[in-house]
Amino acid sequence: MPTIESKTVTAKNKAGGKGEIYITHLLPANYPNDGCQMFASVVIPAGSSIGNHTHNGNTETYHILSGKALYTDNEKTYEVKAGDTTFCADGESHGIEAIGDENLKFIALIIKSK
C-alpha cells in the first residue's frame, strides 16, 4: 500500500461550536471506497467545541486519546476521557466540548450508512 500524506485543516466554530479545532485527515475522503467518509485525528483546545449536529446518511465514532470532554448524545450530556469510545447512529445527534486544562485529542471515523 502506498504511503498516504495526511492533511491538517483548521475549522472555526465547527457545527456552531466554540473556537477552533484541528482535523488531521489520516485518509482522503472515501478512501479506499465510498464507505469510509472520514478517518481523522481531531484536536480540540480546552474550552473549544464541535456543536451539536445530526448525522444523516452516516454514523460517527469518536475514540478519545487524551483529555476530557463533555459529550452530548442527543439530549443527554456526560463526561468522556481517554480510552472512551462514543457512537452517533444515523439520524441521531451529538456534540463535544473540551473541558479541563488539557487539549482533547480523539480519532473520528465517519462511515456511510447502507
Q: What is the pTM for the complete model shown? A: 0.92
Q: For residue 1, is pLDDT > 60?
A: no
The 10s digit of each residue's pLDDT in 15-40 is: 999 999 999 999 887 676 778 899 99
The three grid cell numbers given for residue 83, joined into one nine-digit string: 480510552
How far is 39 from 108, CA to CA, in rounded Å? 6
Q: What is the mean pLDDT of the chain?
A: 93
Q: For residue 59, is pLDDT > 90?
A: yes
How far is 87 from 31, CA to CA, in rounded Å? 21
How far is 45 from 55, CA to CA, in rounded Å? 23
The alpha carbon dihedral of 65, 25, 37, 42 has a sign of: positive
pLDDT (0 to 100) of residue 30: 66
Cβ neighbours of residue 46 closer than 8 Å, sequence gap 6 or more: 67, 98, 99, 100, 101, 102, 103, 104
Model confidence at 77, in pLDDT bands (50, 70, 90)? Answer: very high
pLDDT (0 to 100) of residue 29: 72
Mean pLDDT of 86-110: 97
